[in-house]
Chains A and B, each alone.
Chain A
Amino acid sequence: MLKATDLHTYYGQAHILAGVSVEVRAGEVVVLLGRNGAGKSTTMKSIMGLVRPRAGTVEFQGRRIEQLATHRIARMGLGYVPEERRIFTELTVLENLEVGRQAPRPGAPTWDFEKIGRLFPNLREMPHRPGGRMSGGEQQMLTIARTLMGNPACVLLDEPSEGVAPVIVDQMAEAIRGLKSAGVAILLSEQNLHFAMEVADRAYIIEKGAIRFSGTMAALAANAEVQAQYLAV
């Protein structure tokens, strides 16, 4: 489905990604774990074309996309949910969803407001609420819902559990499982190992811009040493 190989990304002179490779297969939830500053967000932005890797390739559904404009990548069915949420605060819930809307796509589930309402019941209650007047958790749901309106085959989900109340974290986990069962592949970035355990099939651990571990969640759960070295204090 999605395969990034040997990405090298710089911000100015700072070398942020030093050869990151990740892969997501159809129907899979893959988590990219790491402390903050490890390179999780940069990996996602590099895949999405929001920052240009200096070297490396990205393949999506068999096509090379690392040279494509961001909107073209999005049009191919690769959705992106940014860490900072970046909802349009002046726009209502429905309008935010409208911005994300794309034509139905063969081979990927199609979404509308009603179907999204089943995934995030809170949003169904407030179709005309401006984004700026929603709670952090509601905004987090909206940013995911907005991306789903593009009927993506695969979604990059950057730290969905960060900065939201525990009860919302539960809903996020529920929603991710829902997406998976609907047939959307997901690359998720997280700091929270336990949250990742609940939703993901496989994990990569990233540290200082390089992948340090790759394996199933079960293998990671059993590996206390890796946990301590890259995730714990």
Chain B
Amino acid sequence: MTVLLKVEGLTKSFGGVRAVGNVSFEVTAGELLAMIGPNGAGKSTCFNMLNGQLAPDAGSIEFAGRQIVGLKPRAVWRLGVGRTFQITATFSSMTVRENVQVALLSHHGGLGGLWRRARDAHVDAADRLLERVGMREQGDRPCSVLAYGDLKRLELAVALANRPRLLLMDEPTAGMAPRERVALMALAAEIVRTDNIGVLFTEHDMDVVFAHANRVIVLNRGQLIAAGAPDAVRADAEVQRIYLGSRH
């Protein structure tokens, strides 16, 4: 299997507090890798470094053999890394289809256009992406009136617009109803299979993690404390301890 993302010695401190310390892991094509850990473990910080939103203090991030530390999020995206956010980030003043069209226009380098109508651009491609996440019939609805689960699916369609090889999903199911959670992750799993891409996701819902992840890594206080197959991680004494807490 090809290694898509190779993270080594990733470190980041905020005002003397080490949020992420010397974290290393890999994501390969065709796998769903879950990153779990209690609050403040450094998951979001880690994510924000992976897509260029935050600059690490030390460490290397290689995507498809290329060093991406120091690149801006938009440059990382152009290399083929899609991202969804913990709190959905969509364009609320646009329709569902327009959200995807903007991403497609950006992918094809057409966002500088001053004359042609944007809503006529890449309509079919946008509809295909919406079809894929089950949102096609809602294409003309304003994004601002969507149910939360639908917003998450729209975000997925937007993230897929540049045919990414790696998808970063930050808490993809947070705020969704239980049934929607299963459906969304099943969808992600199917995309991983058919497109042979890699997915790294953080998640609080252990049902989601253990139902869908191929591998799990565990962060606690910025340190990677366990990695491996879901069952092995679940059996790990250290992992149990940080989740249940203990008398030190």
Chain B positions within 8 Å of A193 at CB level: 244-245
Which A-chain residue is minimally distant from B36 (CB atoms)?
Answer: A233
Given A162-B40, A194-B246, A38:B148 Cβ within 8 A? no
Q: Does A215 reach chain B (CB closer than 8 Å)?
A: no
Q: Secondary structure at chain B's binding surface: helix, strand, loop or mixed?
A: loop
Chain B positions within 8 Å of A169 at CB level: 248
Min CB gap A218→B, angstroms = 17
Q: Is the CB of B148 within 8 A of A194?
A: no
Min CB gap B107→A, angstroms = 27
Q: Is the CB of A36 within 8 A of B248?
A: no
Min CB gap A221→B, angstroms = 11
Chain B positions within 8 Å of A194 at CB level: 244-247
B36-75 interface with A by 8 A CB criterion: 36, 38-40
Min CB gap B220→A, angstroms = 11
Which A-chain residue is minimally distant from B206 (CB atoms)?
Answer: A233
Q: Does A222 reach chain B (CB closer than 8 Å)?
A: no
Q: Is the CB of B248 within 8 A of A166?
A: yes
Give the residue of B240, B245, B247 whose beta carbon is less than 8 angstroms from that of A233.
B240
Pick out which of these stretches binds chain A: B3-11, B25-33, B172-180, B192-200.
Answer: B172-180
Given A35-B206, A38-B204, A162-B40, A13:B244 Cβ within 8 A? no
Chain B positions within 8 Å of A11 at CB level: 175
Which one of A37, A166, A196 has the highest number of Cβ atoms from chain B below 10 Å of its Cβ? A37
Which one of B178, B218, B239, B247 has the highest number of Cβ atoms from chain A below 10 Å of its Cβ? B247
* Cβ contacts A193-232/B at 8 Å (1 or 0 each): 1111000000000001000000000000000000100011
Which A-chain residue is minimally distant from B146 (CB atoms)?
Answer: A13
Chain A positions within 8 Å of B245 at CB level: 161, 190-196
Which B-chain residue is minimally distant from A14 (CB atoms)?
Answer: B175
Chain A positions within 8 Å of B239 at CB level: 233
Min CB gap A15→B, angstroms = 7
The 4 A-B residue pairs with the shortest CB-CB distance, nearest first, are A192-B245, A14-B175, A37-B204, A13-B148
Known: A15-B177, A233-B206. 17 other contacts (CB 8 A): A12-B148, A13-B146, A13-B147, A14-B175, A15-B175, A36-B39, A37-B204, A163-B40, A169-B248, A190-B245, A192-B245, A193-B245, A194-B244, A194-B245, A196-B245, A233-B233, A233-B240
Q: List 30 A-B contacts (CB under 8 A).
A: A13-B146, A13-B148, A13-B151, A13-B175, A14-B174, A14-B175, A15-B177, A16-B175, A35-B38, A35-B204, A35-B206, A36-B39, A37-B174, A37-B204, A37-B205, A161-B245, A162-B40, A163-B40, A169-B248, A190-B245, A191-B245, A194-B244, A194-B245, A194-B246, A194-B247, A208-B205, A231-B243, A232-B243, A232-B244, A233-B218
